[in-house]
Structure 1
Amino acid sequence: MISWLRRFNVTTRIMSLACFLVIVMVSQAAFFMVGLDNSKQRSELQLIKVAEENQLIENEAKQFVARAKVQKLQQQAQQVQKTFSDMLFWYFDGIVTEYYESLTKATESADLLQQQLNALTSDSQSGTQVKQIMDTLVEYRELMNTAVGYYQQGKDNLAESEIGDANLEAKNLNEQLLVLANMIQTRLAHADTELVAALEKTLAASKVVEQLSEQASEQVDRDLKVLWLILLLTLPVAIGVATAVIMSITRPLSVLKHQLLAIEQNSDLTQMLSLDGRDEIRDMSEATQNLLLKLRSTLDQVGLLANELNEAAKKGYSVSLDTLKQSTEQQLQSAGIAAAATELGASSEDISKTADQGLILVKEVSKAANEGQLDVQATAKTMHQLSAQFDGVESSVSELVQHSSAIGQVLDVIRGIADQTNLLALNAAIEAARAGDQGRGFAVVADEVRTLAQRPSQSTDEIQKMVEALQQHSKVASSSLESNRKHVDDSVKLSEQAETSLVRIIAELVELESTNQVIASITNEQQNAVTEVDENVQKIRALACNVEEQAKDSSGVSESLTDMADKLQQELKVFRR
């Protein structure tokens, strides 16, 4: 199955796996959403029933409150009955016994009855009946108070008449109280009936809510069982498909990794990579193989350039030795010229001291001047040869700089290849990161590829540093040679000036032979000319010393170039090409 999957690219495989997993998850989510929708409907129905139950409970609470109010009215009515009986008793006792305290208690009972009736007037249904009772009570109290007054005045007949009327009012009052009690009792019975009905409705609603809860719980259990069944059926399939896709990616990557590690450990660029399949891994293997081929070609070119660099360094070393030898000879010749100039000065002093020997000394000086002219001509000729040799050295150094630049271009090509490989590895790592856990193995391999790509880049950086050092030394050597070239040109000019001065000295000696009168002036001029010649010769000698030092430096640079070329060749020998 893995070989069959490798017919498709990695992106197609990963997207197919993702689509499969998404389909599985969407199916489970759809089933779960259907179950949630059903649960939502049942919950909404249950909430409606609970709301109805709460409404019934609130109604039941109102019924309880209403019954409590009616029951309280009943208790107040019973207290009114008791107070009414007490009032009748104390009025009867007071009239019969004419006892003052009984009348006082009767008045207190009447006042208390009045207060109790006032409390009952707050009830809307029994308020009218209570007001009638209060009116009757007022009439009864007036009659009884009038009868008591008549008794106290001794008017018994009038008092009995008032008492008879009062008894009628008391009877009427008693009947009214009975009507009020019956009314309250009826209201209490009605409240009990409504309360029982509310309780029955509440119990029925509670049973409905309980049934809905049980049905919802059973449906949730069924949905969970079906969901677990779907999960158990799809999970092995998903794991199998994911494993196959991952193996189709990680297995060829592992093979590529081991092949690249073998190439890295053995430094064998001739080993070929396996190019199986038709996916991105094959493309990456093919690109890596092409990179190795280009790297082999580049290393071969670098080896050839290193050989050429070694040869150029050896030639530069040989030229530097020749320059050193010639500068040494020039220094010796400059010493001879300095000695001749010193002798010429001594001769001039002798001429100034004695005029008698002037002619002989003039001849000797003329002879020495002729010899000095020959030496100066030889020095000028040597300087011209040294200048020509410096041209050859400068040409060699220029070629060395050009070869170093060529090496830098080759290193740029190698660095570009390494950067491209690193970029490919980075892209592979990005794709692996997008794949998540399935691309973790691919990310490891991509990191190994990037590590391998960094090694040629590091070697290239080391070679680049060596080439830059070589170019720097070449530039220093070129600058030194240019400076020495200028010094040599100056030495040639000084030699020509010295030759001109010697010609002038010879002319002056000829003039000195013709006349002895101007010996003193001619001798002074000759002394000045000799001093100038001596200074010029000292300058030539100093220039010769500088040329010698520069030649030594040039030979050292050539040796460094040779060592660098040898090291570069040793580094290249590590790779099998």
Structure 2
Amino acid sequence: MLLDIRKTTLHLQKHGNELQQSSEGTLVSNQELNGAIHVVKEGAEQTAASSEVSTENFREMKQQMEEMLVNMESVFRSSDDMHASAEAGNQSMSQLIQTVHSFEKDFAQLTETVRQLQTDARSISDLVGLIQGITEQTKLLSLNASIEAARAGEAGKGFAVVAEEVGKLAQQSSQAASQITTSIHNMEGITNHATREFEQMLQKTHRTLKMSNGSQVSLDRLLNEIHDVGSKLRGMQNELSGIKKQLPSLEQIAAEFSSVSQETLASAEQMLGSSLLQVESVKATHEIGLKLSTTSESLSSKTERFKIG
């Protein structure tokens, strides 16, 4: 019986040592596993935080893109208004150019008419000068006729009356010619001034027409640029609309990734808790193995005292 006890004690000591060694190995493995789970947990926490930030960024991006599209609509309206205003300005400029062309033609005709009037006035002045010469000759002839009538006596009285009347008519004609000459000189001054004014107005009309043509070219260029800008803005709007359509899917993916990250974090925390419990259990097993080994050693030493006869 004592031999059986000794054998059992040796077996207990052996199993206790094996249990102690096994628990030590398991404890080391659990500690390594615990460290790995800590790393996984930290990674899951970072991933979950990043996922939440990404989801929030997607929401902000979506909101900003919606605001951008609203602002672009406002820009489109302003661009359309600007295009309409430029188009109206271009039409007004075309009408102005047509009007200035008409003015230019009228001023040219009017200037030519005034010049012709000036020429006619000079011709009339020449004719009046001729009339004045004839009048002076008539007055001289009337004077000679009066002298001859006086020499004729009674026979020349009738001729003297006629000569006197002719002299009066010549004097009246001379006065009228002088008045006409004065009027023509005044008219020449007026026509000269009018000619200069019309020539200056014609030059101003030429400059206005040149500036109007330049303005119309600028308006045409502005219209083309507005059209190009509008086309580019439409392209940007289409691209933003396409991105906006994709944002909900990206936002959903980010939300799902955040959910998976949260679940991974929860699983890692649960695994960490289980690992800690397992470490405590292994420690307890290790203590039991240690006690078992100590007890078997004590029991073995006590059985050694007995001698088998």
TM-score by length of 1: 0.24
**Max Rg structure:** 1
Bigger RCO of structures 1 and 2 (CA < 8 A, at least 6 apart)? 2
More helix by share: 2
